[in-house]
Amino acid sequence: MTLTEKILARSAGKSHVQPGDNIWVQADVLMTHDVCGPGTIGVFKREFGAAAKVWDRKKIVIIPDHYIFTSDSRSNRNVDILREFVREQDIPYFYDVIDDPDGKWVFDSGKGNLARQYGSNYAGVCHTALPQKGHTRPGEVLFGTDSHTCMAGAFNLFATGIGNTDAGFVMGTGKLLIKVPETMHFRLEGALKPGVMAKDIILHAIGEIGFDGATYRAMQFDGPGVQSLSMDDRMTIANMAIEAGGKNGIFEFDEQTRAFVDRRCQQNGTKSSYDPVSRDADEKFVYESILDLDQLEPTVACHPDPGQRKKAKELGHIKLDRAYVGSCTGGKTTDFLEFARILRGKSVVIDTFGVPAPPEIVQDLQTIRWGDNTVWEILTGAGVQMTENAGCAACLGGPVDTFGRMNTPLKCISATNRNFPGRMGHKESQVFLASPATVAASALTGRITDPRDYLC
Ligand code: SF4
């Protein structure tokens, strides 16, 4: 069996499964956020009763992160609905925007978008918060009401996005009927060259198979090339499995995974035992590909979908209005470090926005020093508008006052993960997906630019 089949078989209490089998899978974690949480809660209450209790309060993780830093009152209200439900159900893992359990969330637009407006429990984007807060344990099944839930596959989980109706059912029963997906195999060999990042690997892979090339399939990433990839890198790759239509993305377990997971579970006091899955000799794949990391170049997915692959060096004719670094895919510490490495001592020539995914990264960037300056100071000194309000921000547009949202038809190069029309705001805007290094180089020239032109 493949890694995905092994996890699903175990979770269903079976010794063997094969693609196409319909099986009842037991959830280890159900995650929801402010956009889908209220709807999920509504389904749960409608189907199980107003006084019903969730199947396991310690297996539900609630992370407001999407439409947070906005004056839109309905968005603010969504966070309050989550808080009321958490109180009613006594759910321990709720990463609220405010510290007062009886309070109401109101964004203070008078303070502006840049200065911090969250309390001590806020955890930022759900997919980076889950591993940081110790909720991604190898070998487990994680369902989330968000399509990029597949990001947790970096930690050797079966992790997939589900809709509110399914999530309401999981909330009440802990189970879900799943069709076992076929597995596509991506063997990584070699190591990335300077200026090339994990984002380039996944943009390359999606370009190869198309934005629907993995529809309802698992994407398994393994091979010797994985050793040189950090957990941040693996998260970037697993995150975008859904951009090829994948059911999930999954990596092998190794010592790096163990070190990350053990440290985070210990730090947060979450369940620390887990049972990873490893590869079998008899895995059957529906597709096989070898990705030679040495050969990869800075890659861009052009408007209007993540499968429109081109090399950055071929796109110098595309003039840009905006650059954006952030999101679960491109807003991690290592993403910002590569972004800053290119921008250091220089100035951007187009509007450039930086949105850390979790608050912890704000702290990292404001304490890591390169010479006399913090990385945060290097970025703001280069002209980047950096917000301390970690979250999804303009990755999916959001209300009109969302930081970085494209309210007019602009061309933007972005380290995010999705570029279908309207994704970041205006429906006639165009988004070009790229690595943080390519975004940085492009912000310096105002045109899509190969970051290798700026390596020191
Ligand atoms: S950062 Fe973007 S892709 Fe990630 S969860 Fe938020 S909206 Fe979705």
Say how many Å lie between the CA of residue 393 and the centre of ligand 1.
Answer: 8
Amino acid in position 151? M
Q: What would the pLDDT profile of 312-331 be if each residue is shown by its tens digit? A: 999 999 999 999 999 999 99
* Nearest atom (ligand 1) to Cα of 66: 6
Closest CA to ligand 1's atom 2: 395
Say how many Å lie between the CA of residue 87 and the centre of ligand 1.
Answer: 26
CA atoms of 365 and 375, how far apart (whole Å) = 5
* Nearest atom (ligand 1) to Cα of 417: 3
Mutate to test the pocket of ligand 1, among 324, 416, 433 (most ligand atoms within 8 A of CB): 416
CA atoms of 435 and 334, how far apart (whole Å) = 11
CA atoms of 334 and 3, how far apart (whole Å) = 27
Q: Is 235 helix (H, G, I), strand (E, B) or coil?
A: helix
**CA proximity to 238, closest of 156, 118, 132, 327:** 156
Residue ranges of the alpha helices (H) in 240-386? 255-268, 327-330, 333-343, 359-367, 375-381
Q: Is the pLDDT of residue 153 over 90?
A: yes
Residue ranges of the alpha helices (H) in 66-217? 73-89, 126-132, 164-173, 198-209
Phi-psi region of 103 (alpha: psi -120 to 50; beta: other; left: phi over 0): beta
Say how many Å lie between the CA of residue 317 and the centre of ligand 1.
Answer: 29
Q: Yes or no: say if 60 and 27 are a contact pair by the CB < 8 Å rule.
A: no
Closest CA to ligand 1's atom 1: 327
Write phi, then psi, for 451 (nearest 5 degrees): -65, -15
Confidence (pTM): 0.98
Q: Yes or no: say if 359 and 118 are a contact pair by the CB < 8 Å rule.
A: yes
* Nearest atom (ligand 1) to Cα of 127: 5
| Higher local confidence (pLDDT), 456 or 92 | 92
Say how many Å lie between the CA of residue 46 and the centre of ligand 1.
Answer: 28
CA–chain centroid gap for 375, Å, is 22
pLDDT (0 to 100) of residue 375: 98
Q: What would the pLDDT profile of 60-117 be if each residue is shown by its tens digit? A: 999 999 999 999 999 999 999 999 999 999 999 999 999 999 999 999 999 999 999 9
Cβ-based neighbour number of residue 174 at 10 Å = 18
CA atoms of 34 and 75, how far apart (whole Å) = 8
Mutate to test the pocket of ligand 1, among 69, 328, 332, 417 (most ligand atoms within 8 A of CB): 328
pLDDT (0 to 100) of residue 185: 98
Q: What would the pLDDT profile of 11-41 be if each residue is shown by its tens digit? A: 999 999 999 999 999 999 999 999 999 999 9
pLDDT (0 to 100) of residue 32: 98
DSSP letter string, 81-117: HHHHHHHHHT-SEE--SSS-TT------GGGTTTS--
pLDDT (0 to 100) of residue 229: 98
* Nearest atom (ligand 1) to Cα of 357: 1
Mutate to test the pocket of ligand 1, among 31, 63, 66 (most ligand atoms within 8 A of CB): 66
Say how many Å lie between the CA of residue 224 and the centre of ligand 1.
Answer: 29
Q: What would the pLDDT profile of 256-297 be if each residue is shown by its tens digit? A: 999 999 999 999 999 999 999 999 999 999 999 999 999 999
Closest CA to ligand 1's atom 6: 392
Say how many Å lie between the CA of residue 327 and the centre of ligand 1.
Answer: 6
Say how many Å lie between the CA of residue 126 and the centre of ligand 1.
Answer: 8
The band of 456, judged by pLDDT with boundaries at 50, 70 and 90, is confident
Say how many Å lie between the CA of residue 416 and the centre of ligand 1.
Answer: 8
Say how many Å lie between the CA of residue 391 and the centre of ligand 1.
Answer: 8
Mean pLDDT of all residues in 202-208: 98
**Binding-site residues, ligand 1, Cβ < 6 A:** 66, 125-127, 146, 148, 327-328, 392, 395-396, 416-417
Mean pLDDT of all residues in 371-387: 98
Mutate to test the pocket of ligand 1, among 35, 68, 146 (most ligand atoms within 8 A of CB): 146
Say how many Å lie between the CA of residue 65 and the centre of ligand 1.
Answer: 8
Q: What's the mean pLDDT when you consider all of the chain?
A: 98
Say how many Å lie between the CA of residue 269 and the centre of ligand 1.
Answer: 26
Mean pLDDT of all residues in 423-447: 98
Closest CA to ligand 1's atom 4: 328
